[in-house]
Amino acid sequence: MTALRVLTVDDSRTILAMLHHTLSNAGFEVFQAEDGQQGLDLLRTQKVDIVITDINMPIMDGIEFIKAVRASGDFQSLPMLILTTETSQDKRDQGKAAGGTGWIVKPFDPDKLISVIHRVVH
């Protein structure tokens, strides 16, 4: 069985490192970007099974990133989890309206994150 391929998008190198550690130890192949534009660029060259994105990022934030991904016909069914410190219902509504699949508040629990990934990909 091939490893699930995960794209993580976050401007925090600490969060990216934590995600890489958690996901690679769980057997996932991990690709990383530091903003939405880098994430879009990676999606053009790498096939992934799921995206995990922050909301608050420079250049292109997570909401804009999700909208841009969903605007491409190739990624209508790609699961996109939002991993953020944001807790307001307004932000959650924006994320869902943009096409986000799920919402996880930082700091994340590694086991719960892995469980959610398996639930939305399979």
CB contact at 8 A, 77 and 122:
no
In three-state secondary structure terms, 96 is: helix
User: What string of pLDDT tens digits covers the 122 residues of the chain?
Assistant: 578 999 999 999 999 999 999 999 999 999 999 999 999 999 999 999 999 999 999 999 999 999 999 998 788 899 999 999 988 999 999 999 999 999 999 999 999 999 999 999 97
CA 29, chain centre distance (Å): 14
CB 68, CB 60: distance < 8 Å: yes
